[in-house]
Structure 1
Amino acid sequence: MIMERLKQVKFFDTLSKKMVAGFAILIVIGTILLSLPMATATGKVTSLINVIFTAASATCITGLTVVNTAEHWSTFGQLVILGLSEVGALGYMTFAVLLFNIMRRNIGLSTQLMVKESLNLENLSDTKSVMRYVIGLSLLFQVGGLGLLAVDFVPRFGWSRGLYVSMYHAVMSFCNAGFDVFGNSLMDFRSDSYVLIVTMVLIIAGGLGFLVWRDLLLFHERHRLTLNSKLTLVTTISLFVAGFILLLITERDLAILPAGTSWFNRTVNTLFLSVTPRTAGLTTIPTQSLRVGSLFLLMVLMFVGGTPGSTAGGIKTTTFGILMLQSIAQLRGRQDVEFSHRRFSQSNISRALLLIFLASVVISVATLILAQTETIPKEFGLEYVVFEVLSAFGTVGLSLGLTPHLTVIGKLVIMLLMFIGRVGIFTSLYSLSKRQARVSLIRYPEENILIG
């Protein structure tokens, strides 16, 4: 039993290092391609730190930019960013398996284990079936999104430009990346409810997670949902509804919009504002113009993020859900944490609490560093830094304006946050640690201390 546990720890450490190395290689490839003169609109070479930052932001599907994507990068550069976001969102192992299938080669055990870890699968037997859903659903939503958006964009921009921006926007919305080719995100489309609704559907589809989608699609056969899917759906809907209602209150029904804006359009824009912090990064309203209460709410939503095994970042909805259920159980004096006639294991709860603690430490350290290295405008306070930190950690892409003015140290900190947010805080820390696989045979006497 002890030897098996030691082998599992060693294997997980090795797997973590391989996953981190895989994403790092993608960033290096993106850096090389974006360093080419043909990648910029002017034909001039971009500074190395800005190229690395852009490649990291794209690979980590964040969308924070130090240069304007629409103006600075050429079509080639924009397509490189698109490709990095696609691979970063679905995971490089997904494309490795797709290549194996095209070549009609069997997938080795080590590859299946990498896929299992990258998609947060519970059983190794799920690898092949889930991979089919990952590839199939990705194609379905992105191609479908392209077609729906083309209905609006082609008449507006013409066939060539219309299809291009439809494809770009569909991919970036589904991948929950915040890059755009309009120059100001979706601010020009705040009165186009059709585009906003299609975009919201794509964002939610990408952030919901492939395991949840598989459960929903197979519900007619199984007539049940897994506990993971139930908790994900309940938490996602709760955050969506709560965010919408609270934003209606804090923004006074989006009083920032022109006086003649219809109630329907105001509702759609508010819904969009409650969806996009869940790691999408696209916006119809300048973030700097939002009220302080709204900014705080967006920061909470960015911290939570989306679903494990999806294109989203953050601590994830299941972690947040377990924390809420644990708190409710403790307040009611119950020993077990229950949901949908099931009881969560103590290891599950401990892992969730550890994740939140580690995330809080990482965010706090990053905030402290940036507060020392970056200049905060007079009209802002500490939220100017905290907002950017949470946006990077949650791989969101929303900004109060700090990112384009970051110092070199600031860019390095934000890049590290984006990387940790995408790869996963456990995977990142395990890959950097030099811990020895040990299982203690000694247990000391139990004793309590004062809490609270």
Structure 2
Amino acid sequence: MDKIKNSKLFDTLSKKMVWGFILLITVGTILLSLPIATRGMHGSTFIDTVFTATSATCITGLTVVNTATHWSFFGQVVILALSEVGALGYMTFAVLLFNIIRRHLNLSTQLMVKESLNLENLSDTKSVMRYVIGLSALFQIGGAILLGADFIPRFGWKRGLYVSVYHSVMSFCNAGFDVFGNSLRGFQDDSYLLIVTIILIIAGGLGFLVWRDLLLFHERKRLTLNSKLTLVTTSTLFVVGFLLLLVTERDLSLMPTHTSWFNRTVNTLFLSVTPRTAGLITLPTHQLQSGSVFILMILMFVGGTPGSTAGGIKTTTFGVLMLQSIAQIRGKKDVEFSHRRFSQTNISRALLLVFLASIVIVVATLILTQTERIPKGFGLEYIVFEVLSAFGTVGLSLGLTPHLTVIGKLVIMLLMFIGRVGIFTSLYSLSKRQTKVNQIRYPEENVLIG
């Protein structure tokens, strides 16, 4: 009975979360549809407006129109606000409002916050919310100050301050929008700017629960298993991705020959970080080596950490499955990490997540191969890269997004939505299943595998 009740509760919460994001996208679409939202008040087509609102709310950064040249200051601020709310979760701002008006959170609201931030216990709701709001403000304000030291001398106080705040928010939220027109390709030689951006991207993609554990380590003298696995997996992917990109890109041979070794290293570091759902780029993606594109696709599929501003299948899912594979190869029955054993439910959930994600990606790719045209010089990677970018809420592109057909835009929008809300949440909200308790268990038998 408890399992049935929990399932029904999860179904209800999933539907509320999905409808909350849909409402946010709708509000964004209405605001971006206003003439004042575009330069020259020329307006946008409905599908392009919905696409932009979806991309901002789902903190992806894929664009069908150039953010810098198409949207006015008002439109850019709307995109900024949608990205902020989409990154931290609309429930975060609901809780903030409750605190301002000094109202207590009811049980339903606490459960929504617990689900949106992937919390283990309901008792963590209030304390975690304080960390979410506090850390977000600290990183974004600090990032804006650090970036202002670079941008204000370049663009003056007014423009420099605006660009600093905008870029800080988009970097921390892993949103990928920019107000320069070509992402950060004009700042390849600015190592200071790239390092600050790398820190903001990692901070946003690491997850609020991990940050809370790190900040409270001096008191607790320990980290949770989730934080340990996250830090190990994130560090491993970062280092391995960096080393592989150094090899595949021949130490960024596509950069000018006079570029220093240090600057090449920083740009390679940036290239290994940005596919973790950040979407900002300093190099033309379509000019990267095939091996590099493949590495980026893998990193986009994995994504960031649960409860963070990142998308993908998440680092913990990848880490659990890697440990499961290693345990199986060694002939171990239990999957262990840091003197703890993962439950079979945990492992099964990770396997199901990867399987469902693979199905979604395959179906989306198949549809786009029928609706979109692949330019000469590209192969299937032209479409798969875009699909993974949308699903992982990354925002990188090989050039397909601005040329998508209406059907293609709908597919990409759905992928961005699923990637941000989560596969499980999306499926639970759409399904009308009833939890069944099997009264009969059939005899066990094996089939040939491999």
Compute the TM-score of the two structures, normalised by the length of structure 2.
Answer: 1.00
What's 1:401 paired with? 399
User: Alignment partner of 1:319: what SS?
Assistant: helix
Report the CA distance between 1:192 and its aligned residue. Answer: 0.1
What's 2:186 paired with? 188
CA shift digits 1:202-232 (9 cap, x unpaired): 0000000000000000000000000000000
Provide the rounded CA distance (Å) in 2 between the counterparts of 1:346 and 1:381: 39
CA shift digits 1:35-93 (9 cap, x unpaired): 00000012012000000000000000000000000000000000000000000000000
Stretches of structure 1 that go unaligned for 5 or more consecutive residues are: none
Matched, 1:367 2:365: yes
Report the CA distance between 1:441 and its aligned residue. Answer: 2.0
Provide the rounded CA distance (Å) in 2 between the counterparts of 1:286 and 1:373: 25
What's 2:291 paired with? 293
Matched, 1:391 2:383: no
Query: Which of 22, 27, 52 is the equivalent residue of 1:54?
Result: 52
**What amino acid maps onto 2:224 in structure 1?**
T
**What amino acid maps onto 1:412 in structure 2?**
L
CA shift digits 1:1-57 (9 cap, x unpaired): xx2211111111111000000000000000000000000012012000000000000
Report the CA distance between 1:304 and its aligned residue. Answer: 0.1
**What amino acid maps onto 2:17 in structure 1?**
M
What's 2:95 paired with? 97
**What amino acid maps onto 2:284 in structure 1?**
P
**What amino acid maps onto 2:40 in structure 1?**
T
Query: Which of 153, 178, 189 is the equivalent residue of 1:155?
Result: 153
User: Alignment partner of 2:39: what SS?
Assistant: coil
Provide the rounded CA distance (Å) in 1 between the counterparts of 2:291 and 2:40: 41
**What amino acid maps onto 1:40 in structure 2?**
T
**What amino acid maps onto 1:378 in structure 2?**
K
What's 1:113 paired with? 111
Compute the TM-score of the two structures, normalised by the length of structure 1.
Answer: 0.99
Provide the rounded CA distance (Å) in 2 between the counterparts of 1:8 and 1:221: 33
Matched, 1:265 2:258: no
CA shift digits 1:370-409 (9 cap, x unpaired): 0010000011000000000000000000000000000000
Provide the rounded CA distance (Å) in 2 between the counterparts of 1:70 and 1:315: 31
Identical residues among aligned pairs (%): 81
Report the CA distance between 1:444 and its aligned residue. Answer: 1.2
What's 1:75 paired with? 73
What's 1:306 paired with? 304
Structure 1's consecutive aligned runs of 4 or more residues displaced over 3 angstroms after TM superposition are none
Show the 5 A alignment for 1:296-445: 296-445=294-443
What's 2:126 paired with? 128
Query: Which of 239, 242, 252 is the equivalent residue of 1:241?
Result: 239
CA shift digits 1:154-203 (9 cap, x unpaired): 00000000000000000000000010000000001010000000000000
Stretches of structure 2 that go unaligned for 5 or more consecutive residues are: none
Provide the rounded CA distance (Å) in 2 between the counterparts of 1:71 and 1:375: 26
Provide the rounded CA distance (Å) in 2 between the counterparts of 1:47 and 1:439: 49
What's 2:17 paired with? 19
**What amino acid maps onto 1:175 in structure 2?**
C
Paired residues in the alignment total 450
Report the CA distance between 1:440 and its aligned residue. Answer: 1.6
**What amino acid maps onto 1:46 in structure 2?**
S
CA shift digits 1:249-269 (9 cap, x unpaired): 000000000000000000000
Provide the rounded CA distance (Å) in 1 between the counterparts of 2:435 and 2:408: 35
Query: Which of 109, 120, 137 is the equivalent residue of 1:139?
Result: 137
Report the CA distance between 1:437 and its aligned residue. Answer: 2.3
User: Alignment partner of 2:373: what SS?
Assistant: coil
